[in-house]
């Protein structure tokens, strides 16, 4: 085997281990007529109990169970820079009662929490850049938040290739 083959094999193994090590409750079902696992799998969060109060779980500030997760520490925005925060995201998901299991809801919200902190860090880091870059980052995060809200309402993963690539919900 040459070096490229070995590297490719190791990368594939690392990806497989990463995807297996940090899953969440539910059943993975391939979408009809679609090819590929990452963008086309759909997880249903089977749950027969009462609806789950999303706001109460968000208040717990959940984080994914990933040993090597690079979670950005919350940082303060400089004066005049508008960034999303835990409260504004909480307002966007307020009132949602999910038909999914509590574990699935907690997993979804843990990734929303990770990407909130990373988005804030990106916005603060690039505060001196042109406003368009920050507006784009903010708009993408707002779209992601609304997408996660819809998933919570429906109690299932809803594939969105663009958002799934920008905001992956998997251990690194």
Q: What is the pLDDT of residue 151?
A: 98
Q: What is the pLDDT of residue 27?
A: 29
Residue corresponding to tokens 């679609």: 34
Residue corresponding to tokens 């968000």: 58
Domain count, the chain: 1
How far the first Cα of the chain sits from its last, in Å, is 27
Q: Which of 95-99, 113-117, 133-137 has the lowest mean pLDDT?
A: 133-137
Q: Which of 63-72, 110-119, 153-162 has the lowest mean pLDDT?
A: 63-72
E strands of the chain, at which residues? 27-30, 41-44, 52-53, 97-98
Instruction: Please report whether residue 92 resides in a domain.
Output: yes
> Do the Cβ atoms of 63 and 71 come closer than 8 Å?
yes
Instruction: Please report whether residue 171 resides in a domain.
Output: no
Instruction: Please report whether residue 172 resides in a domain.
Output: no
Distance separating alpha carbons of residues 53 and 32, to the nearest angstrom: 31
Is pTM beyond 0.75? Reply is no
Cα-based distances in Å from 148 to 12, 68, 158: 28, 23, 9
Q: What is the pLDDT of residue 21?
A: 38
Instruction: Please report whether residue 97 resides in a domain.
Output: yes
Instruction: Please report whether residue 13 resides in a domain.
Output: yes
> Do the Cβ atoms of 38 and 163 come closer than 8 Å?
no
What domain range includes position 138?
Answer: 3-166
């Amino acid at each position: 085997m040459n070096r490229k083959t070995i590297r490719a094999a190791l990368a594939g193994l690392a990806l497989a281990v990463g995807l297996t090590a940090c899953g969440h409750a539910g059943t993975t079902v391939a979408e009809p007529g679609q090819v590929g696992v990452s963008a086309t799998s759909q997880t249903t969060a089977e749950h027969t109990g009462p609806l789950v109060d999303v706001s109460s779980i968000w208040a717990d500030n959940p984080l994914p169970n990933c040993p090597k997760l690079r979670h950005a520490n919350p940082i303060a925005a400089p004066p005049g820079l508008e960034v999303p925060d835990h409260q504004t995201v909480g307002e966007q998901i307020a009132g949602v009662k999910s038909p999914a299991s509590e574990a699935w809801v907690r997993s979804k919200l843990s990734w929303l929490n990770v990407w909130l902190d990373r988005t804030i860090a990106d916005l603060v880091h690039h505060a001196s850049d042109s406003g368009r870059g920050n507006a784009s980052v903010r708009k993408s995060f707002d779209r992601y938040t609304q997408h996660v809200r819809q998933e919570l309402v429906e109690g299932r993963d809803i594939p969105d290739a663009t958002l799934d690539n920008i905001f992956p919900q998997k251990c690194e």
